[in-house]
Structure formats: C-alpha cells, structure tokens
Copies of this chain bind each other. A is one copy, B any other.
Amino acid sequence: MDDRLSAQIAFLSEADRLKSILRASRLHDDSRFENSAEHSWHVMLYAFVLAEHASAEVQIDRVLKMLLLHDLVEIDAGDNPIHGDVDEHAVAIAEAAAAERIFGLLPLDQASDFRALWDEFEAAQSPDAVFAKSIDRVQTPIANLANGGGTWRDYNVNLAQLETRVGSPIKRGAPGVWAWLRPRLAAFFARA
C-alpha cells in the first residue's frame, strides 16, 4: 500500500512537467503561449459544456478522462502543432515510447487502464474518442478568433487548410459546433 501510493505520487509528480510544455497557441488575451496542462483543463471544460453536441452513445465521463490524460505524452514527445511541418510517423513512435514510460510509473493495473484509454483516444475510432478528438480541435480556433489570428498567422494558414485540419475532425464528432464555427472562421479570413 505504501509502495503503491509512492508509485502513484511519482506519476503525479512527473505529470507536473506538463505545465512547462508550451503549445503553439496563445491565450485569448495574447499575453503568452499556452501550456499543455492548462490546455487539458480547458478542453475538458469545453467537452463538459458542449456534451449535448456529442452523438447519443458518447459517455461524457469517459471523454473527460481521456482528455485528462491525452497530452501527458508531450512531457517526453513535446507538442506537435497541427499546422506545423511534422513527421507524423516519428511523432507516433515518440509518443508511444512516452506513454510506455510515463504511464509505466503507475502501479501495473492503473498503468494498463490509463494506457488503454490513451490508445483509444489516439485511435480516434470509438464514439468517445471521436468526440474527444473533435473537442480538442475546437479550443484553439476560438482562441485564435479572440487574439487576432494566433497560430493561423504564425503558420500562414488559410481557410481551405483549416477545413481539412480542423473542420473534418470537428464535423465528425460535433457537427453542430462546426456549423456554428465555420461561418465565424470564414468571416475572419474574409477580413484578414
């Protein structure tokens, strides 16, 4: 029991490092880059508030747990911006190794449960994972609209690219949210 709790606390202490992993996205007030820990919190809040846009079979409690864990691998593998020039195969290998090491800090039963939840999220096939992935794509566009362009400006992104990289996953998991967001993105790019 003492060893078990020590392993759990070792994992939770290692998790603190996610607060120092910076994303490409900025806060709404444009004051600084966002880190992956506060992003994870914000995306969970998005999922909770927007749960009514999920398909009927989605279990929001599982979605929240997926989103709680989804970025921990970035402690080792770093954040890989969707508009960046990323070698997806190399990233997948690095993230799998990170999952092995980081979830492996936990007692065996939890390591395997957490890893299964993360694998399900990454696979993006189950209804819960599809919704979690779609919500994970909603937050940054809203921040970019608020702070005047954010990552779109930095990476020179156009509306057609956004339709593919952001629109497709959002439409798949939360079509009502995409119906709301799309005209707002179009209006932004028409002005830009």
Contact = CB atoms under 8 A, between A and B. Distances in A.
A49 B65 CA distance: 11
A146 interface: yes
A99 interface: no
B20 A29 contact: yes
B29 A37 contact: no
B146 A13 contact: yes
A69 B5 CA distance: 26
Assembly stoichiometry (copies): 2
B110 A49 contact: yes
Q: How large is the interface on A (under 10, 10 to 19, 20 to 34, 35 or more residues)?
A: 35 or more
A6 B49 CA distance: 12
A132 to B, nearest CB: 14
A98 interface: no
Contacts of A34: 19
Interface of A: 1-2, 5-6, 8-9, 11-13, 15-20, 27-29, 31, 34-35, 37-38, 40-42, 44-46, 48-50, 61, 64-65, 68-69, 106, 110, 139, 142-143, 146, 176-177, 180
B12 A46 contact: yes
The 8 tightest CB contacts between A and B, nearest first, are A41-B41, A37-B38, A61-B61, A16-B28, A38-B38, A5-B180, A19-B38, A40-B41
Contacts of A176: 1, 5
Given A16-B143, A34-B19, A37-B38, A180 B48 contact: no
5 contacts: A8-B49, A13-B28, A16-B143, A41-B41, A41-B68
